[in-house]
Amino acid sequence: MEANLKIATLVVQKLKAMGYTVDLLEEFDPRLNQYSALALVSIHNDSCDYINDEATGFKVAAPSDSQYQDRSERLEKCLIHRYHEITKLKIHVNTITPDMTSYHTFDEISSETTAAIIETGFLNLDEQIIRYQPELVADGIVAGIKCFVERESVPDDFLNEID
């Protein structure tokens, strides 16, 4: 929880410094009810338990059911591309679960709000970057959000490079 709050706080500070209006919300924040914004990124860290030597890397998911699926997928692509580019962590595409694609917050916010969820890494094998380099983690998330908001380009085949 402490590592996650540190990362989220840094993301908010960095986006505000760039001139964006940003809210820091908790997972079960009453303000999420019909929350309206250009984008909502739910930031999480994955398990701190040792699972196996492959339990390293990050995950990003857009809602499986979105009124504007193209916008959600664009936010997802921007986050994946920029986060990998900055952190050098690999993506765990095959471990994205319905808990991510049907994350409860997606049902609470306004259908006009584009959303995604990111698991920044595993607190076990990725602890070094998550706990001791939160600025780098935050930079990756901020770059992904900026990519989405400013409609920056993302290479079509970038997923082939980071698996």
pLDDT along the chain (163 residues), means of 10: 91 98 95 96 88 88 88 95 96 85 94 95 92 97 98 82 58
Q: Which helix (H) or strand (E) holds 75?
A: helix 69-87
Q: Which CATH superfamily is domain 2-26+36-154 in?
A: Zn-dependent exopeptidases (3.40.630.40)
- The model carries a pTM of 0.93
Quote the pLDDT of residue 46: 86
Token pair of 111 as six digits? 């259908």
User: Judging by DSSP bridges, how do beta strands 59-61 and 114-122 pair with one another?
Assistant: antiparallel
* Residue located via tokens 């908010």: 12
How far apart are alpha carbons 131 and 62 in whole angstroms?
Answer: 25
| pLDDT attached to residue 160 | 64
Where exactly are the structural domains of the chain? 2-26+36-154
Rounded to whole angstroms, the Cα distance separating 7 from 91 reads: 19
